[in-house]
């Protein structure tokens, strides 16, 4: 057999006989009722996997492992260099804590299908909170701690939760982020009123409580009875996770329960090559999809040990932190974003700190969140001497669209490519008319419907937006929003987004959303935001402001204020630090702002004067402004 034959046979089977393929994979999951139909396409293009089946995700992640002899195995290792704490939880301990918190949540009237927002840092209680919701069949929506009150309020109004679970603070290097005042402010801002919050107090910044609304976490749990697992339909939502759209209104990606459990278990075994009982580390955050799938549900459904890391790749305390965690907990694989490795490389280019640690059990490094840039991949490969696997996925898809399936059969790595499509993914590169392009040509990457289990069935309360955003442009396909090409060996390279989404340190942001904030400043008549290349973060947002006639304050005052507004309204995670004032924006004759050209100029890439430009002089003004700001050096 030639290299790749095993993968190719599995992939071909998943497309040729999707129902047979996924029904077989579903055997690793405990179901309380078997499905009537593996794939229900009666309401296409809305597809449903495992229709008619019932199960509980928390049972699959915890209880069944305790029942089958894994009770004393570590389920979770909390490693927190920012608080100097480490703590292990066995499957039994984690199940018991989850059952008690589920009891406390149920005591507040939360039932199957009710929504619960979780706004918490990277502490074990965040994992307990997610699993406790899953246990009750309540739909959780985790909001990343780096978002501001306004973002939290938008999510509260969209999913109308009955309860918020929070912690008093998060800890960033050198600063304590008080979550509770942000939550209080969000509740003020939101139309939907929250009857109850359960607050986990951390000693670093205890929160003040609102009478008759806020409950202390430990007291609520102490008073609760453990709650059992409530079966839900396979097609019921396990969670909603908001991600950047093109406007200030984020998209509520819905994750169903059954297909997701099946896909995660499959991917843990065959994409990540991890076995039950092994230690696995995903250095993301529970606020992102990667954290949902591979800090919490994936490794626990498999019966592995998951590491929960509250720290950074550098500065907590140094660029050897990742090596310490891998060696101390004997992790067999790590999943992180390329930006984390760029940060380590910058601090310790020779990798000297690695020499103090034993990584002999470490097998594979997985990178995602942004394109794995070849220099970073080469550096990591040389240093670690293990396969470095770039894989591509999105909040919408829940797990990888493409990857190198090392648990099935390692394929050769091609730096710059995220390897080959996952089972169930028929990917095409389409031109503007929706016609498939030739191998090697760059176009829109689109997946033929139906997508595999685990991918999103719709957006929360927004079927039409789902259809318009993802399915309308290329009928019969899911538009990924990414552009790239497929080579002669079937390897996929993802090059750029086709919309206004930018990727900042592996975090997905909408430039349109930042523009909405800038446009709200009294001085600003018009604005544009682009992502400019950044050595460490991949991209960072850069703003252009056109001021209203008659504004005669110093420009730096307006700039300082808009930067603060973005931090206050979107959050520090937007990393919006640079803006310049320009006389006007370059536009086409029909009034479209030429963001693509501006970005090329800023990045020093070759660009052409667009034939449709209204006034070429506007480009000179932009270029001049960028040069003063230290960009456009190569033009």
259 CB neighbour count, 10 Å cutoff: 30
DSSP 495-514: EEESSSEEEETTEEEEHHHH
**Quick check: 145 binds ligand AMP (CB under 6 A)?**
no
**Quick check: 172 binds ligand COA (CB under 6 A)?**
yes
Question: Could you say which of 14, 305, 364, 395 contacts ligand AMP (CB under 6 A)?
Answer: 395
**Quick check: 320 binds ligand COA (CB under 6 A)?**
no
Contact (CB, 8 A) for 144 and 288? yes
Residue 621's binding partner out of ligand AMP, ligand COA, none, with CB under 5 to 8 Å set by partner kind: none
Residue 343's binding partner out of ligand COA, ligand AMP, none, with CB under 5 to 8 Å set by partner kind: ligand COA
Kindly state the smallest distance separating residue 176's Cβ from ligand COA, in Å.
10
**Quick check: 369 binds ligand COA (CB under 6 A)?**
yes
**Quick check: 100 binds ligand AMP (CB under 6 A)?**
no
Using the contact rule CB under 6 A, the part of the chain among 37-45, 192-200, 227-235, 337-345 near ligand COA is 337-345
* Residue among 576, 407, 401, 594 at smallest CA distance from 493: 401
Kindly state the smallest distance separating residue 576's Cβ from ligand COA, in Å.
9
Residue 572's binding partner out of ligand AMP, ligand COA, none, with CB under 5 to 8 Å set by partner kind: ligand COA
Question: Could you say which of 394, 419, 511, 513 contacts ligand AMP (CB under 6 A)?
Answer: 394
Residue 505's binding partner out of ligand AMP, ligand COA, none, with CB under 5 to 8 Å set by partner kind: ligand COA
Kindly state the smallest distance separating residue 343's Cβ from ligand COA, in Å.
4
DSSP 468: I
**Quick check: 120 binds ligand COA (CB under 6 A)?**
no
Question: Could you say which of 251, 312, 391, 595 contacts ligand COA (CB under 6 A)?
Answer: 312
Residue 177's binding partner out of ligand COA, ligand AMP, none, with CB under 5 to 8 Å set by partner kind: ligand COA
Using DSSP's 3-state secondary structure scheme, residue 367 falls into strand
Of the CA atoms within 13 Å of residue 611, those in its CB half-sphere come to 0
Cα-Cα-Cα-Cα torsion 150, 481, 422, 271, nearest 10 degrees, comes to -40
**Contact characters 68-107, ligand COA, x per CB under 6 A:** ----------------------------------------
Residue 145's binding partner out of ligand COA, ligand AMP, none, with CB under 5 to 8 Å set by partner kind: ligand COA
Sign of the CA dihedral with 161 first, then 163, 168, and 171 last:
negative
**Quick check: 368 binds ligand COA (CB under 6 A)?**
yes
Task: Give me 41's structure tokens.
Answer: 């396409």
Contacts of 494 (CB under 8 A, 6+ apart): 371, 392, 402, 418, 445, 482, 483, 484
d(CA 253, CA 458): 7
Question: Could you say which of 369, 424, 538, 541 contacts ligand AMP (CB under 6 A)?
Answer: 369
313 CB neighbour count, 10 Å cutoff: 22
43 CB neighbour count, 10 Å cutoff: 10
d(CA 300, CA 58): 9
498 CB neighbour count, 10 Å cutoff: 16
d(CA 435, CA 442): 12
* Residue among 578, 539, 575, 572 at smallest CA distance from 175: 572
Using the contact rule CB under 6 A, the part of the chain among 71-79, 206-214, 393-401, 560-568 near ligand AMP is 393-401
**Quick check: 429 binds ligand COA (CB under 6 A)?**
no
Contacts of 420 (CB under 8 A, 6+ apart): 4, 7, 11, 402, 403, 404, 405, 411, 490, 491, 492
DSSP 151: H
DSSP 168: S
User: What angle, rounded to 10 degrees, do the helices at 179-189 and 149-159 form?
Assistant: 50
Q: ∠ CA(388), CA(272), CA(389), 5° rounding?
A: 20
Question: Could you say which of 21, 272, 575, 631 contacts ligand COA (CB under 6 A)?
Answer: 575
* Residue among 211, 265, 215, 262 at smallest CA distance from 235: 262
Question: Could you say which of 418, 422, 518, 602 contacts ligand AMP (CB under 6 A)?
Answer: 418
Per rule CB under 6 A, count of chain residues that contact ligand COA: 25
Residue 481's binding partner out of ligand AMP, ligand COA, none, with CB under 5 to 8 Å set by partner kind: ligand AMP
Question: Could you say which of 158, 214, 370, 516 contacts ligand AMP (CB under 6 A)?
Answer: 370
**Quick check: 338 binds ligand COA (CB under 6 A)?**
no
**Quick check: 343 binds ligand COA (CB under 6 A)?**
yes
Which residues, 190 to 219, sit near ligand COA by CB under 6 A? Answer: none
CA 578 to the chain's CA centroid: 25
Question: Could you say which of 176, 177, 210, 462 contacts ligand COA (CB under 6 A)?
Answer: 177
Question: Could you say which of 145, 237, 259, 531 contacts ligand COA (CB under 6 A)?
Answer: 145
DSSP 95-149: HHHHHHHHHHHHTTT--TT-EEEEE--SSHHHHHHHHHHHHHT-EEEE--TTS-H
Q: Which is nearer to ligand AMP, 206 or 375 (CB)?
A: 375
**Quick check: 482 binds ligand AMP (CB under 6 A)?**
yes
Q: Which is nearer to ligand AMP, 106 or 253 (CB)?
A: 253
Question: Could you say which of 136, 494, 505, 618 contacts ligand AMP (CB under 6 A)?
Answer: 494
Binding site for ligand COA (CB under 6 A): 121, 145-146, 170, 172, 177, 283-284, 288, 290, 312-314, 336-337, 339-340, 343, 368-369, 505-506, 572-573, 575
Binding site for ligand AMP (CB under 6 A): 243, 289, 368-372, 390-395, 418, 481-482, 494, 497, 503, 508
């Amino acid at each position: 057999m030639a290299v790749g034959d095993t993968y190719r046979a599995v992939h071909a089977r998943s497309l040729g006989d999707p129902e047979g393929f996924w029904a077989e994979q579903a055997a690793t999951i405990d179901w309380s009722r078997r499905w009537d139909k593996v794939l229900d396409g009666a309401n296409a293009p809305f597809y449903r996997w495992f229709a008619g089946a019932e199960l509980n995700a928390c049972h699959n992640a915890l209880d069944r492992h305790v029942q089958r002899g894994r009770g004393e195995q570590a389920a979770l290792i909390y490693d927190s260099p920012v608080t100097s704490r480490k703590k292990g939880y066995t499957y039994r301990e984690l199940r018991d804590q989850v059952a008690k918190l589920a009891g406390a949540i149920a005591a507040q009237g939360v039932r199957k299908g009710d929504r619960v927002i979780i706004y918490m840092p990277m502490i074990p209680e965040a994992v307990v909170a997610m699993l406790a919701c899953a246990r009750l069949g309540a739909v959780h929506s985790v909001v990343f701690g780096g978002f501001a009150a306004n973002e939290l309020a938008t999510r509260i109004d969209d999913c109308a939760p009955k309860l918020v679970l929070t912690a008093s603070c998060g800890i960033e290097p050198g600063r304590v982020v008080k979550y509770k005042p942000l939550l209080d402010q969000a509740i003020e801002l939101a139309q939907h009123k929250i009857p109850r919050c359960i607050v986990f107090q951390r000693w670093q910044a205890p929160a003040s409580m609102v009478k008759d609304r806020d409950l202390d976490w430990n007291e609520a749990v102490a008073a609760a009875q453990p709650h059992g697992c409530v079966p839900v339909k396979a097609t019921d939502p396990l969670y909603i996770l908001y991600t950047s759209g093109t406007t200030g209104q984020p998209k509520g990606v819905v994750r169903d329960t059954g297909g997701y459990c099946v896909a995660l278990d499959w991917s843990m075994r065959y994409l990540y090559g991890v076995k039950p009982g092994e230690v696995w580390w995903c250095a993301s955050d529970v606020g992102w999809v990667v954290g949902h799938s591979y800090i919490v549900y994936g490794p626990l459904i498999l019966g592995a040990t998951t590491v929960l890391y509250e720290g950074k790749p550098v500065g907590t305390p140094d660029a050897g932190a990742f090596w310490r965690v891998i060696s101390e907990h004997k992790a067999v694989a790590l999943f992180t974003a390329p930006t984390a490795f760029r940060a380590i490389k910058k601090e310790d280019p020779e990798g000297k700190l690695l020499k103090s640690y034993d990584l002999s059990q470490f097998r594979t490094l997985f990178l995602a969140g942004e394109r794995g840039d070849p220099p970073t991949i080469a550096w990591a490969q040389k240093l670690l001497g293990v396969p470095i696997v770039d894989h591509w996925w999105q909040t919408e898809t829940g797990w990888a669209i493409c990857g190198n399936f090392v648990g099935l059969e390692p394929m050769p790595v091609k730096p710059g490519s995220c390897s080959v499509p996952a089972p169930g993914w028929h990917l095409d590169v389409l031109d503007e008319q929706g016609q498939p392009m030739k191998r090697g040509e760059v176009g829109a990457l689109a997946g033929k419907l139906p997508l595999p289990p685990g991918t999103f069935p719709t957006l929360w309360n927004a079927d039409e937006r789902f259809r318009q955003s993802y399915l309308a442009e290329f009928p019969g396909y899911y538009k990924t929003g990414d552009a790239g090409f497929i080579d002669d060996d079937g390897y996929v390279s993802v090059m750029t987004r086709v919309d206004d989404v930018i990727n900042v340190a592996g975090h997905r942001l909408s430039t349109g959303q930042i523009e909405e904030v800038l446009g709200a400043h009294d001085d600003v008549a018009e604005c544009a935001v682009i992502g400019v290349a950044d050595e460490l973060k991949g991209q960072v947002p850069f703003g252009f402001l056109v001021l209203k006639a008659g504004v005669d304050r110093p420009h730096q005052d307006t700039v300082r204020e808009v930067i603060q507004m973005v931090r206050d309204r979107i959050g520090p995670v937007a990393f919006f630090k640079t803006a310049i004032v320009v006389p006007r924006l370059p536009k086409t004759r029909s009034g479209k702002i030429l963001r693509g050209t501006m970005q090329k100029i800023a990045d020093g890439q070759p660009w052409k004067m667009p034939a449709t430009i209204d006034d070429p002089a506007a480009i000179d003004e932009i270029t001049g402004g960028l040069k003063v700001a230290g960009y456009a050096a190569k033009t």
